Structure 1
Amino acid sequence: MTDTTATTPEAISETTHDATHRQPAAPGVIRWGIVGTGRIARRFAQGLAHVLHARLDALWSRRAESARAFADEFGGTVCANFDALLASGIDALYIATLQDSHAGYAIAALQAGLHVLCEKPATVNRPQLERVLAAARDSQRLFMEAMKPSFYPLYRKLREHLANEPIGEVGFVRAGCSVPGVPADHPSLSFEHAGGALLDIGIYEMFLAVDWLGAPRDVQTFGRLGATGVDTFASLNSQHERGFAQLFCGLDLHGKGDALLMAGGGHVTLHEPWWNPSRATIRYADGRVVELDEPFEGGGLNYETAHFCELIRAGQLESPLMPHDTSLRMIAMADAARAALGVKFAGE
């Protein structure tokens, strides 16, 4: 689900709060900053403790009390405003706010010379993402959308296994998740903050389809809108370069589940919850069954963070596991699905 941190990049009138008496970083240590201190930011900070040669140096949230409590628990200096965070000496910024603010924060950070790891969805729509990627190119800084599944040990082991013992080219993907009982005041239901099932949950399913099937060619969408004007359920049939996908996402039905990858020589089940993958079953057409079991540590976000740090040290500007084209293809699917349902946010 989406983080509940408020998102407007406005200054807060608090004094700097140093919880760690910060010392200069050792050579090779990546100094992180965080904007937003909600649930996903907490998971990031917990995972950062499992990443070698990386540390939390600074943070900012427009909710001063939340920021101070966050620093007391995880360390880091609470900055007086977002500009102070950008100027705090950090190497990389993790954006953990609501999606309507992602583009603005990312562009400002890139222009300030920082590398940016941005929570999903990277932006609300494709034009915003194109502006972010242009800022990354201009500044020669690394930008990556924090789409976590592909970095998990299970997902990487599955890729390796299928390369060595293939089932053929995957031609069909089925995946979905729907979570009922979302409180009426939750940001996922906020039109103002660009909420809705497609951007909050469906972006995961879109990643899976794009990652295995390539660029979308056609997206057909059925769904419904809730009282606030955002989509509360959507069902997508999509055609891609290399096959077809059936995806669903919702905020009013119960549908947490697995994912299915089908090919000519067998199929793969990514067991629930597939977006935090730890188990997979591969069933070959000849009857052979292979079980993969790869537990994860640190909450899971540590794997994408470690990868991002490695890219910084190597001077890379794009991830081979989560390239810019994947983000562009995902948000293009979301744009098409929202257009079909008539969901258009302010400024679009």
Structure 2
Amino acid sequence: MSENTIGSGAGEVRWGIVGAGRIAQRFADSLAHVPGARLAGVWSRREEPARELAGRFGAQACASFDALLDNIDALYIATLQDSHPHYALRAFAAGKPVLCEKPAAVNARALQQMIDAARAAKLLFMEAMKPPFYPLYQRLRAHLEADGIGEIGLVRAGCSIANVPSDHPSFSLEAGGGALLDIGVYEAFLAVDWLGEALDVQTIGRLGDTGVDVFASLNVRHERGIAQLFCGLDLQGRGDALIAGTRGTVTIHENWWNPVRATIAYTDGRKVELEEPFSGGGLNYETAHFCELLRAGAIESPIMSHATSMRMIAIIDAARRDLKLRFPFETD
């Protein structure tokens, strides 16, 4: 680790970003709102966008990925999802902790390799699933602990975006695209977070001209209930979520994965409105959590655990099997 004693409760966290696309820019913008953290370096196979991104924040545009790793305390992976394991494994080999954009990997096998490598190296590794770190989501959790809606048995969530450009990586079979991995993984998180591990997944959907899933509808039986989920790239669908219990319901209003407002309706007629605006673009909350874990010497988040990530990708794997969707780079 660096000389500023990260892992001993002190020191600035110097971040590096691999990738220079939209999510990399959002991360860099959000990082400015994280105390004790700064962007130190950027590397991308696209040299000019990397230079521009680094220049905006006074960071170094590195000449290679290895050069990036030499000058940082933590790595954020913001490349296309098919390359996530490649960069994560190299980072772990270099002794660097990793915050990896969702989905951390396109299948459970690749994700398990990443987890195993991080644990073997005793390094922090977390999938960047942002919703549980938002102020609204945390306030909702606290409210339900004090005034619950009974036994929760249903999660219903979905989002479909009709105007995704045809040249977007989501439509690339070679890059591991598709609605399930790009959008459905959010819904999988919500279901796992409230209902536990998935026991059975039933999926119907459509594949588009490029071979990726452009719409999928999932019914999932979990340890503690049922989830009804959908995701799509060619229809316009709402982005709210419903959590139903024996004593009431929670509606997280759209867009639920950037949560600001929730309505809790109890069977006794009471209604509670929660509202918590977020700041800094939203990615700052997960990043601040990661920095706190890093300073504490942790290798896993208690909120976004390795087990949660594995449970999420297991749902997506099962759904892709139902749709007979396989990526060219996947091996048996």
Which TM-score bucket, shorter chain as reference? over 0.9
- Give 1:4-43 correspondences, 5 Å limit: 28-43=11-26
- The alignment yields a C-alpha RMSD, in angstroms, of 1.1
Q: Post-superposition shift, 1:85?
A: 1.1
Instruction: Number of aligned residue pairs: give it.
Output: 324
Matched residue type, 1:54 = A
- TM-score computed with the length of structure 1 as normaliser: 0.92
Matched residue type, 1:249 = C
Point out where structure 2 has 5 or more consecutive residues left out of the alignment. Answer: none
Q: Post-superposition shift, 1:185?
A: 1.3
Equivalence for 2:227: 245
Q: Deviations over 1:290-333 (max 9, x none)?
A: 00000000010000000000000011111011000000000000
Query: Which of 221-230 and 74-83 deviates more?
Result: 74-83
Point out where structure 1 has 5 or more consecutive residues left out of the alignment. Answer: 1-23
Among 63, 71, 74, which residue is 1:92 paired with? 74
CA contact (8 A) 1:239 1:245 kept: yes
Q: Post-superposition shift, 1:257?
A: 2.2
Among 84, 88, 93, which residue is 1:102 paired with? 84
Equivalence for 1:308: 290
Equivalence for 1:9: none
Q: Post-superposition shift, 1:25?
A: 6.0
Equivalence for 1:230: 212
Q: Distance in 1 between matches of 2:234 and 2:205?
A: 12
Matched residue type, 2:158 = G
Does residue 1:202 correspond to 2:202, yes or no? no
Q: Post-superposition shift, 1:169?
A: 2.4
Q: Post-superposition shift, 1:87?
A: 1.6
The 3-state SS of whatever aligns with 1:171 is strand
Does residue 1:267 correspond to 2:255, yes or no? no
Q: Distance in 1 between matches of 2:61 and 2:239?
A: 39
Task: List, as ranges, runs of 4+ consecutive aligned residues in structure 1 with deviation greater than 2 Å.
Answer: 24-27
Matched residue type, 1:67 = A
Equivalence for 1:140: 122
Equivalence for 1:21: none
Q: Distance in 1 between matches of 2:206 and 2:260?
A: 32
- Give 1:54-65 correspondences, 5 Å limit: 54-65=37-48
Q: Post-superposition shift, 1:75?
A: 2.3
Does residue 1:78 correspond to 2:61, yes or no? yes
CA contact (8 A) 2:174 2:329 kept: no
Q: Distance in 2 between matches of 1:231 and 1:330?
A: 17
Matched residue type, 1:255 = G
Equivalence for 1:317: 299
